[in-house]
Amino acid sequence: MKNKKICIVGLGYVGLPLAVNLSKYFKIVGYDNNEQRIIDLRDNNDKTKEIKKSELKRTKILFTNKKSETKDCKVYIVTVPTPIDSQNKPLLTSLIEATKMIGSFVKNGDLIIYESTIFPGCTEEILIPLLEKISKKKLNKNFFVGYSPERIDPGLSKFKLINQAKIISGSNKTALNITKNIYNKIIKKKIFVAKSIKVAEAAKIIENTQRDINIAFINEISMLFHKLDINTNEVLKAASTKWNFLNFKPGLVGGHCIGVDPYYLKFKAHKEGFKPKLISSGRSINDFMPEFIFSQIKKIMIGKKGFLKNKNILFLGVAFKENCNDFRNSKAINLLKLLDKNNYIDVYDNLVNSNSLKKIEKIDLISKINKKNFYDIIVVSVPHKKIKSFKIGYLKSLGKKNCIIIDIKSIFPKEQVEWQL
């Protein structure tokens, strides 16, 4: 195994850290169909900020966007994104294209491991039949398949790839043994062998769905407590004195995992004629939060005998979570676009790539905050470390005399701001 090449298909937040770590023990080919991504990586530049320039310089990974350079690999690990479409349905385009590429030159004895998050049954019902059809080969006779869901958590250095337990599964014992031998080289925590590929697929998707539901409950009680004039954070402090209370916080829940995975599970449930109520309700609540916050800002403005129109607004943070530069499916952006109608907005995020944001979301970032006594509203949306370091006095100096401060994640004492979620 040591002298056989491994190809990592997809070099984003998941694939690149995996490639770098595995390159310490195996020959690695890093494939991505994004030519600019390959150019950047060859120049030791990771725009996701997951891997440092010095780390990339030390690796001997062959970065390529040429399919032909992956042909002589014996193991393929697929880490491409699995988003949703405009109707909140699974969008498997990248996964299907990666599978077609591998199927076109899969060889006897090859192993294909999928890490992308998918609904239970996807590997065996869609991906394996596609591999067999294109390759004209048979599973477990000519090639093998494994599934080992990724658990990358962007922005949290404590929970990097090597520091998390790893779930693995395989089409047979051969697939399991090879998969285990590969991940054993880099994973410091436990490797858990799932009973089947479906079990591994389901385990990953309920991890994020469970978190989505838990936060949805807190978001719902937060909306209720606003009507009752009760401070949600004070309630949570009191309730968390009970040993088994789960202390989730209210907030904007988006991103490419928690904001997506419940829809994958819901899609599969509907395919089986089952209508999940709790899963659907939780995601509906979290999808609604930008509108709720927007309505609260309007309410505050009306209370001050004004309107949410022709206002100068400073919006701090557009990533989907703090200390991360990923803005895919960010609910902060949903809120921003609601506020953007009929108002002037300066948007600041010290981590998000301004060119990417402009290209994909048509949003301009300011590089510095240099306007004093200018803003009517300041929205502290995503408290990156730098944004969290801003003192309340500094923020108030940026605003006009009656400027209101909206503190979504409650980083300031309640009495210092106009509104908290």
Residue owning tokens 């699974």: 90
Query: What span, in angstroms and rounded, lies between the C-alpha atoms of 142 and 133?
Result: 13
Catalytic residue among 73, 122, 257, 324: 257
Query: What span, in angstroms and rounded, lies between the C-alpha atoms of 140 and 137?
Result: 9
Q: Are 23 and 2 in contact (CB under 8 A)?
A: no
Q: Please, what sign has the CA dihedral across residues 303, 304, 310, 311?
A: negative
122 is catalytic: no
DSSP annotation string for 159-170:
G-GGGS-EEEEE
Give 116's strand partners.
none
Query: What span, in angstroms and rounded, lies between the C-alpha atoms of 401 and 88?
Result: 43
DSSP annotation string for 219-245:
HHHHHHHHHHT--HHHHHHHHTTSTT-
Q: Are 338 and 315 in contact (CB under 8 A)?
A: no
Active-site residue numbers?
257
